[in-house]
Each structure stands twice: as structure tokens, then as C-alpha cells.
Amino acid sequence: MKLVLLVFLFICFDILAIGVCKSNSSRPDTVNIGAILAFNSTIGRVARVAIDAAVNDVNSDPNVLRGTKLVVHQQDSYCNGFIGIVEALQFMETDIAAIIGPQSSVVAHVITHVANELKVPLLSFAATDPTLSSLEYPFFVRTTQSDAFQMAAVAELVDYFQWRQVIVIFIDDDYGRNGVASLSDKLAEKRSKISYKGALPPEPDRSDISDLLVRVALMESRIIVLHANPDSGIKVLKMAHYLGMTITGYVWIATDWLSSLLDSHSPLDSEIMDTMQGVISLRQHTADTKRKKSLLSKWSKFKTDDNAINFRLNSYGLYAYDSVWMVAHALDAFFDDGGAIEFYNDSRLQDADGGTLNLEALSVFGKGNLLLRKIQSTVFDGVTGPFELDSDGNLIHPAYDILNIVGTGSRSIGYWSNYSGLSTETPEILYLKPPNRSSINQKLYDVIWPGQTTTNPRGWVFPNNGQELRIGVPNRVSYPEFVSKEKGSDTMKGYCIDVFTAAVNLLPYPIVYRFIPFGNGLVNPNFTELVEKVSSNEFDAAVGDIAINTDRTRIVDFTQPFIESGLVILTTVKEHDSSAWAFLQPFTLEMWCVTGLFFLFVGAVIWILEHRINDEFRGPPRKQLVTIFWYVWTRKISFSLR
């Protein structure tokens, strides 16, 4: 028995030893990975420190890469634009196995084409443009939430407060444009829409912003979704505050740029905080894990060696940290599968002779496809919670915190998760229950809106573009009590006008209107024509004793009727001769004869049945006859009285 066990152990050890040997021999000492960020940006500054921290943690954990060290090369791509793209392209010339980034969606759109060619996976922790998930970019792996989910959250918020139209202000680049397109789709699912898309150039100046905001202020909708980046977003809010557009009645919904700014830099100047009181913002929801807490407690230690600017960890920093761990776990599985970090020159790029772009320096990662597959199937517990990609390439469990900016910071008013919609419970609790999107379950805590009010804004006003409402009024000739023009002046009077002014006075907001008499004052105007003028936008509305009929309801909306006419039938009046014998008229002569005959018949039958047993029916024939007639007559009268 012992011998068998010994042999078994020996075989086991042998296999183990071979395994260790094999993996030892094929594992390089170091693996180069790259990171493309905009160093001088809110997200980039945090991510830079987070990536360094993650690489440190991976290298000091012997269980992850088992001896191999990660070496990260960071490249500043600035925020957007040409220089950023060129810098990123040059960076691709170094032989790297994977890239953390790029940070911006604009750079990502260009670099993914190169990454596809060189077979280098990109793990972007900050490019949220939904179109980057397309099949065109197989080597783009998004290690953060796609804006498609953020926009679904915004659309559900809009629906929750029962607003129907929103205005979007966005930066007109790939990130802004595609985010807004996604919002438009999600709003359509909720039967709402974007009434105006206000585009700003990538680096807007004061006049761009004020021109746009003045246009927005004249519009009907008061719900403004601001999808920008921290720099320009703050500028827009400042200008809106200056123009008086952050007062009661306005609703500002800022996408996650605002929360990442606040998380990193709060407390901001009180002057800046004043401009965003009552704003609603979203933040990618990350679970409260132990690893997150320990990273947060270590954070102050990491950044002391950096510049003097004080900044804290935000959700993008957490995703950057987890991206590095994802690469590390994937590389481990890659080496286990016998993968090797080898590059070869692309013959097609070699042939591009005469150029000075130095394209031949770009080399293709031979086993790139294998590493990509390993990344896609990596599952681990990160600082943001369970970290895993679903079959569509999205991180599992997309969820957002919904924040209300008040005072010097923000308060959470609830959560949105793709799993259960809006809720005041954390998504982690909801994941344990079956999904339930019923409308009773959709709740949020009260919001403090701009102007320090807690009543939910109506979300629209009458477009205040200097125009008053044109109200068409029939200039009646007959029945002037209903509505007519005052003699010698232009004012209208009558019952309908009184009802209208009483209703307008009940409205919680003022409206400006003008009555326009319709008709020449000599004959009653044609009411159908008046209604048609409302539908053809010559009048904004019409007031008067206008009958509601089917044809008219097809082209305009009517109020509830305030004079009930009911259903009546009209006929012509005919003169009739009436005489004392008029009561005989309902019956014809035949009818009277038949009635008389039945009288006799019934009497005879009763006499036959009764006279043998009933004393009343005996005696002289004259008395019997009277009894018969009397009896039948009383029966008839008593029946007809019933």
C-alpha cells in the first residue's frame, strides 16, 4: 500500500517538476507593455499613478507572473488631435505585447487600426465611445463601461422624471458625437427625444459657449445633458451660471466627466462649486471591495513623488489599475499555453519604399491573437469588483452611481444598473435577487435641483423667443355673449374669453398672448377655416364656441368641452286639429270592433264557468247580463291601472 502511494507521489512530483521546468524555460524575464495617456488631464494624471502602482503590485506578487516582471512604458498622447495621434503611432514602433490605453476615444479610433495590423491588444480604461466596440476593432478591449450604458442610465433618469425632450451639449468629436447618437437611441426607446443637439468644437472658447447657451436658453426644453470633458465642461457650467441658466426650472445632467473631476480634485474652489449646485452627474459604479480600500489607503503614498497638484483616485484610475492586472493574468495564461513574445517585420510595410515615415520599424506581434483570446477570457477579482468581459466585449455588470452636486461635494441619490434599472439599493444587493424592472421598483432619493428646490422641475417652458402666442378668436355677429369684439376697440369679450383668462390665471407660469379677431364682423366667420388656421400654424391656438367634431379633432387638439350641448333631435313643427274625440285616434275602427267582440267573448266564457257555482251570476237574465258586463269592465280597468 505504502509503495503504491510512494510511486503515485513520485509520478505526481515528476509531472509537477516537468511543468515548472517547462513554464520556467519559456517565460522571459521581462515583458514590455505600453500605456498611452494624456498626462496633463484629470483622468491621465490619476491613471498614470494607478498604472505604476498596479505594475508594482503585480511584480511584487510571485503568484501572478511567476518570476516574469512587467515593464511599463508610458507615452503622453496629449488629449486629442494630431500630435497625440502621431506620438501614439511612434510609440507603436517599440516592441510591446499590450497597451493600456489609449485614454481618449479620438486617439483610440486611429490607433486601433494600427493595433489590428500589429496584433497588439489595446486595453482602454477610459475610451468610452460606444462605436469602439464594433467588429471593425477586434484588438480593442474596453476595460471600462461603454457610454451606451451611461446613456441608457440618462434616458431612464429622463423617463423617471417624466420629461419628454432634452437638449444635449456635447464636444463634437468621436467621443461626444457617438455618445449623443447612443443617447438618442436610448431616449427613443423611452418615447422621449433630443430636441436640440448643441455641438461645441473640441477646444471651445468663451464666445462659442455663450453663443450656444444663448440659443439653448430661448428653447422650450429646460433639461440639458452635458456630455463633455472636464476642461470644457467646467467652462460651460461657468458660462451657464453667468447667463443665469443654473436657476430654478433648469435641469443639468452631466455625464461622468464631472464626477471624475470632483472625485480627483474636490474640494474645488467654492466659486466653481457655486456654478454646479443641483447638477446631476453619473459615476461608474465600482463595488466596495477590500482591494479597493487597501489601494485607497496606499494612494497618498504613491503620489507624493509626483508634482504638487493634489489629486485623488477616481473610477477611471481604478479601471486603469485593473487593466494592468488583467494583462498580467492574461500573460500568465498565455505563457502557460506556450506563448512567446516574438515580433516579426511586416513585409507589406517593408515594401513601402521611399517614405520617411519609418513604417518598417513597426513589427507584428506573432502570438497577438492568442494573447487577445487570453485577455478576453480572463476572470479575476479586481479593485472594481469581479472583472470579466462578456461575449460582446463589455465588462459584466454595467452600473452607475447617480450623484447630486450640493454644497462642496456630492451626495448619492441612487444607482442605475443594467440589471435592474434605477434603485436606491446598491447593485451588489440587487444581483442577488432576480432582475425586476417593474416601475414600482424604480426609485431614487429626492434631488436638490438648481435654485435649492426639491420640487421636480417640469422640464419645459414656453419658448421665450420674444414671440407672444397668437390666439385666434371668432368675431361673431350672432350670439355675441359667447365671444365678440368690443365695439370701437380691439379687445375681445364674452363667456369664452372669460373661461380662457380664468384658465390662464391658474397656470403656475406666465404666458404672453394676443387675441386676433377672425372674421370681418359682418357675418359669422367660418369655424372650420379658423380651426384650419391653427393647424397651419397661422394661429397658435383658438378660443371660442367652436364645436368639436371628428374632422376637426383630426387636425387640432381640443380642450375638454366647457359648454355641454348634448344630443338633440330637431324636427319641423306640424299643426294638428284636435277634438274632444282625439283619444279615439290611436286605435283604428277594426281595433275598436275587435276589442268589443273580445269583451263579449270573455263575458260569455266567465258566465259559462261561473253561473253554476257562483250566486252572483244567478237571477233574472237582465241582472246576469249586468254582472257579466260589470265584471269584465272592472278586470279591464284594474289591469290597465297596473
Ligand X SMILES: *[C@@H]1O[C@H](CO)[C@@H](O)[C@H](O)[C@H]1NC(C)=O
Smallest gap from Cβ 59 to ligand X, in A, equals 14
CB of 55 to ligand X, least distance (A): 19
The continuous run of DSSP H or E covering 323 comes out as helix 315-336
Q: Which of 536, 559, 537 is nearest to 546 (CA)?
A: 559
Contact residue for ligand X among 93, 360, 425, 540 (CB under 6 A) = 360
- Which residue's CB is nearer to ligand X, number 473 or number 632? 473
436 lines the binding site for ligand X (CB under 6 A): yes
Tell me the window of 92-100, 180-188, 288-296, 358-366 that interacts with ligand X (CB under 6 A). Answer: 358-366
Selection from 177, 180, 205 nearest residue 193 by Cα: 180
List the interface residues with ligand X, window 223-242 (CB under 6 A): 231
Footprint of ligand X on residues 363-392 (CB under 6 A)? 363, 390
User: C-alpha distances in angstroms, 104 versus 41, 144, 204, 323, 575?
Assistant: 11, 12, 17, 16, 93
Q: Does 67 bind ligand X (CB under 6 A)?
A: yes
Stretch near ligand X under the rule CB under 6 A, chosen from 524-532, 553-561, 574-582, 597-605: 524-532
Cα distance between residue 615 and residue 599, in whole Å: 22
Name the residue among 159, 175, 318, 282 with its Cα closest to residue 223.
159
Is 90 one of the binding residues for ligand X (CB under 6 A)? no
Binding status of residue 94 toward ligand X by CB under 6 A: no
Least distance from ligand X to the Cβ atom of residue 27, Å: 8
Nearer residue to ligand X within complex by CB, 283 or 552: 552
- Applying CB under 6 A, among 121, 176, 233, 398 the residue interacting with ligand X is 398
Query: Nearest approach, Cβ of 123 to ligand X (angstroms)?
Result: 17
**Taking a C-beta distance cutoff of 8 angstroms, is the pair 128, 144 a contact?**
yes
Among 1, 4, 135, 440, binds ligand X (CB under 6 A): 440
Per CB under 6 A, does 438 bind ligand X?
yes
| Residue 346 interacting with ligand X (CB under 6 A) | no
Segment near ligand X (CB under 6 A), from 82-90, 91-99, 526-534, 545-553? 526-534
Give the residue carrying C-alpha cell 517538476.
Answer: 17
Nearer CB in complex with ligand X: 310/438? 438
- Identify which of residues 142 and 177 has a Cβ nearer to ligand X in the complex: 142
Secondary structure of residue 206 in the 3-state scheme: helix
User: Which letter does DSSP use for residue 38 in this model?
Assistant: -
Residue 72: C-alpha distances to residues 32, 46, 171, 597 (Å): 6, 16, 31, 122
Counting contacts by CB under 6 A, is residue 394 touching ligand X? yes
- Per DSSP, helices labelled H in 397-539 are 427-430, 495-506, 527-535
The residue count for binding ligand X (CB under 6 A) is: 22
Q: Give the strand pairing for 343-345 and 363-365.
A: antiparallel
Segment near ligand X (CB under 6 A); pick from 3-11, 295-303, 430-438, 491-499: 430-438
* Contact partners, residue 498, CB within 8 Å, separation at least 6: none
